[in-house]
């Protein structure tokens, strides 16, 4: 009941200067539990004047955060944030499950991931502030320093609203920046609760501006925000990228995925089937790196399909606060979109051998069944668009090379999976599969110390690792001559003997 009380307290608020304030807006929307369709609270659109106030405060306090706090001070403050998140673990997990539907176990994991990601960023942010290089001129000192871009706007998705924010804002804060967050409409109240963990930081350094796309658009186009991190759809990501380009504003863009999953004859098939089910159905398939295109070698196709169907039938569906493996989709709108995608796949010849509909036992909530589609080919729409739902479409291939070719024949390139025990196939897959991450027999794992991101239409830039922090920093080149000596080798007047002469 504490969570429901907190939702009430967070409703219609924005987080400014270390406290919650009720918006003056008259526009907003209700927050609905996707498992029960019960109204949990409400959100008001942050007004432009309220956003202006936030940006002004962010730019003031950011300079204090960078100039008046040492790298050690900043690291200690971020560790305090991580420690407070640990104390809020169960509250945050329950609120996340209630607001967007994922199983409580997945919500607990997400909060844990926030903690160790923030701790990593805290330390990596002070371990590398630039580098020293050999001088181009003897006796000089040449080096670089890394400095913050300023105030960064974060446009967040609903599927992993806390950990993606911890990845991005953690990196930005460690790099000396201020943060203004525009949460997803589907996870606003949880994000506001999460903001309480940042109260150890200087007031105004971390702020939350709830609302719809217009709030994000205003933040992106504002001349006094200095960087943007966006996670969402391709059309919006392209619009954000264009706006940032017009302002010469650095942007991290993470858009859609349509990840391939290759299964070769040497794979341990029972493990591969379990991995496939997890990769397709985790978070009800609402993951940018979900496995969405399965390419299975013809020699083991039928056996693999049989094993995957068995695993699919084991999936327990229901309210994420119960003992389940998969909750509902996040909204009725998302369910309508997903069901339309399945219907289209069926019309194009795909055959749902398990799932394909809604669980009969629920008369409320936006539940769907985990689904396996066979008789698919790579020309089908479902193989060329992000499904973002619990479906495993399977295409039979004749060999590794065909699987590789079809996997890369996509406008997306976020991640890619392969199950094989063949070393040559493993090495070729890591080098030849398109994408920012390749998982060999280890699907969907992240590592705080390694970069996350894609290419093609899946986005620009990287999160996590040293690359993630550098996303929110600018590198400045410094050259010092401590002797302030004359540099006659290239100053005026030029030596006569170096002037042009037509003599041979």
Cα atoms found within 13 Å of the Cα of residue 12, Cβ hemisphere only: 7
Q: What is the DSSP letter of 336?
A: H
Residues 6+ apart with CB under 8 A from 98: 3, 4, 7, 33, 35, 40, 320, 321
The Cα 451–Cα 435 span in angstroms is: 12
Distance of CA 259 to the CA centre of its chain: 15
Retrieve residue 346's tokens: 């069926």
The Cα 329–Cα 342 span in angstroms is: 14
Decide: 327 and 35 in contact? Cβ < 8 Å: yes
DSSP codes of every residue in 277-327: HHHHHGGGG--TT-EEEEEEETTTHHHHHHHHHHHHHT--BS-TTSS-SB-
Q: Rounded to whole angstroms, what are the CA distances from 119 to 105, 110, 122, 206?
A: 22, 15, 5, 17
Decide: 227 and 203 in contact? Cβ < 8 Å: no
* Cβ atoms < 10 Å from Cβ of 151: 27
The Cα 51–Cα 16 span in angstroms is: 9
Token match 């959100």: residue?
A: 43
Span between the terminal Cα atoms of the chain, in Å = 93
Decide: 68 and 62 in contact? Cβ < 8 Å: no
Retrieve residue 49's tokens: 């004047």
The residues that are catalytic are 254, 288
Length in residues, the chain: 504
Q: 3-class DSSP state for residue 480?
A: strand
Token match 């019309």: residue?
A: 347
């Amino acid at each position: 009941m504490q969570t429901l009380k907190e939702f009430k307290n967070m409703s219609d608020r924005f987080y400014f200067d270390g406290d919650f304030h009720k918006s003056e807006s008259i526009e907003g929307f209700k927050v609905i539990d996707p498992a029960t369709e019960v109204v949990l609270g409400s959100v008001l659109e942050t007004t432009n004047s309220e956003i202006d106030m936030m940006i002004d405060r962010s730019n003031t306090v950011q300079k204090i955060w960078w100039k008046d706090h040492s790298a050690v001070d900043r690291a200690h403050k971020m560790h305090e944030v991580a420690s407070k998140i640990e104390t809020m673990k169960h509250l945050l997990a329950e609120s996340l499950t209630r607001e967007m539907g994922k199983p409580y176990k997945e919500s607990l994991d997400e909060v844990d991931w926030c903690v160790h990601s923030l701790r990593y960023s805290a330390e990596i942010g002070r371990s590398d502030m630039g580098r020293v290089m050999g001088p181009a001129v003897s006796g000089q000192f040449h080096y670089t320093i890394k400095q913050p871009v300023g105030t960064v706007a974060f446009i967040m998705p609903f599927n992993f609203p806390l950990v993606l924010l911890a990845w991005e804002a953690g990196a930005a804060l460690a790099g000396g920046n201020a943060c203004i967050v525009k949460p997803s409409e589907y996870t606003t109240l949880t994000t506001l609760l999460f903001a309480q963990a940042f109260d150890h930081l200087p007031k105004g350094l971390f702020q939350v501006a709830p609302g719809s796309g217009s709030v994000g658009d205003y933040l992106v186009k504002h001349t006094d925000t200095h960087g943007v991190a966006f996670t969402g759809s391709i059309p919006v990501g392209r619009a954000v990228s264009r706006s940032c380009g017009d302002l010469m504003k650095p942007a991290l863009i993470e858009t859609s995925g349509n990840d391939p999953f290759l299964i070769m004859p040497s794979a341990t098939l029972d493990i591969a089937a379990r991995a496939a089910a997890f990769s397709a159905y985790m978070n009800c398939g609402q993951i940018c790196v979900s496995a969405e295109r399965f390419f299975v070698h013809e020699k083991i196709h039928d056996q693999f399909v049989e094993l995957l169907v068995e695993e699919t039938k084991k999936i327990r569906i229901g309210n994420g606060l119960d003992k389940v493996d998969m909750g509902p989709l996040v909204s009725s709108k998302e369910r309508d979109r997903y069901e339309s995608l399945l219907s289209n796949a069926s019309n194009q010849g795909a055959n749902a051998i398990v799932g394909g509909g809604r669980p009969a036992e629920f008369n409320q909530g936006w539940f769907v069944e985990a689904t396996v589609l066979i008789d698919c080919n790579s020309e089908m729409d479902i193989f060329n668009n992000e499904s973002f739902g619990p479906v495993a479409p399977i295409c039979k291939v004749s060999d590794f090379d065909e699987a590789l070719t079809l996997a890369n024949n996509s406008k997306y390139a976020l991640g890619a999976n392969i199950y094989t025990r063949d070393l040559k196939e493993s090495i070729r897959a890591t080098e030849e599969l398109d994408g920012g991450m390749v998982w060999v027999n280890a699907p969907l794992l992240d590592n705080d110390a390694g970069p996350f991101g894609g290419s093609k239409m899946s986005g620009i830039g990287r999160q996590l690792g040293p690359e993630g922090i550098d996303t929110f920093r600018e590198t400045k080149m410094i050259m010092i001559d401590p002797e302030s000596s004359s540099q006659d080798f290239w100053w005026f007047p030029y030596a006569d003997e170096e002037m042009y002469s037509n003599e041979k």
